[in-house]
Chain A
C-alpha cells in the first residue's frame, strides 16, 4: 500500500499570506496525485488532479506541483474562504490512499 504523508498537520496563517502544503508518497506515483479541500460539515471538493491541473472552477491562486514522491499545493494569497482541511490522494495504484490532511486555520 502506498502511504501518503502530509505536512504540517496544522498551519496557522493570516489572510493574504502565501501557503505551501506538502505531500509525500512512500513510493513513486508519477503524477497521479489529486488535492481536495474539505470545509467543516461539507464533502471534499476536487482542487487539483494529475499533480498540477486545476479542476473546473478552481481559482488560479491554487496551484499544484511535483512528481514522483514529493508534491506541493500552493495557495498564493489565502482568502477567508480557504480555511479548511486539505487532503492529497494518490491514484497510481490500488488501494487508493489519502494523506492524513493539513488543516489551514486562521492565525
Chain B
C-alpha cells in the first residue's frame, strides 16, 4: 500500500524559510515522479512543483519559482520542498502526491494527508 507522510510544517514569519519532507513507502520511490500541491484555507488546489523520478528534471509554478526548491533522496525514499522568502500567500496545506510514471506531468494517483504551513508575524 502506498503511503506518503508529510512533515516539517508550522508557523513561520514572512521572509522566513521552512523545509517540508514527504516520507514514501509501499512502492519503488525512485521509479516515480513526485509532486507538491498546496491548498490555501478554504480554497482550491494549486500545483506547486514536480520532480522526475531520477531528480534530473524539476518544474515550478510561477508563484514559487526562485523561492522554492524541490528535491528528493531516493536512497531514503524522501521528497523535500525547501521554501525560502515565504509570504503570507504561501499559507496553505501542502500535499505530496505520486505520479504514475517516472517522467512528470501526469495525474496524481496517491496523496499524502498534507501538512499545514502558516506564514504570519
Contact = CB atoms under 8 A, between A and B. Distances in A.
Interface stretch (A11-19, A43-51, A68-76): A43-51
Nearest to A98: B45
Contacts, number: 56
Given A94-B59, A95-B61, A44 B95 contact: yes
Contacts of A100: 44
Majority DSSP secondary structure for residues of B touching A: loop
- With a 10 A CB-CB cut-off, give which of B45, B50, B62, B107 has the most chain A CB atoms: B107
A34 B109 CA distance: 10
B111 interface: yes
Nearest to A34: B107
Q: How extensive is the interface on chain B, given as a class?
A: 20 to 34
Contacts of B113: 42-43
Nearest to A50: B107
Interface of A: 34, 36, 38, 42-46, 49-50, 55, 87, 89, 91, 93-101
- For the complex of A and B, list the 3 residue pairs with the smallest distance between their C-beta atoms, beginning with the closest: A34-B107, A43-B111, A96-B47
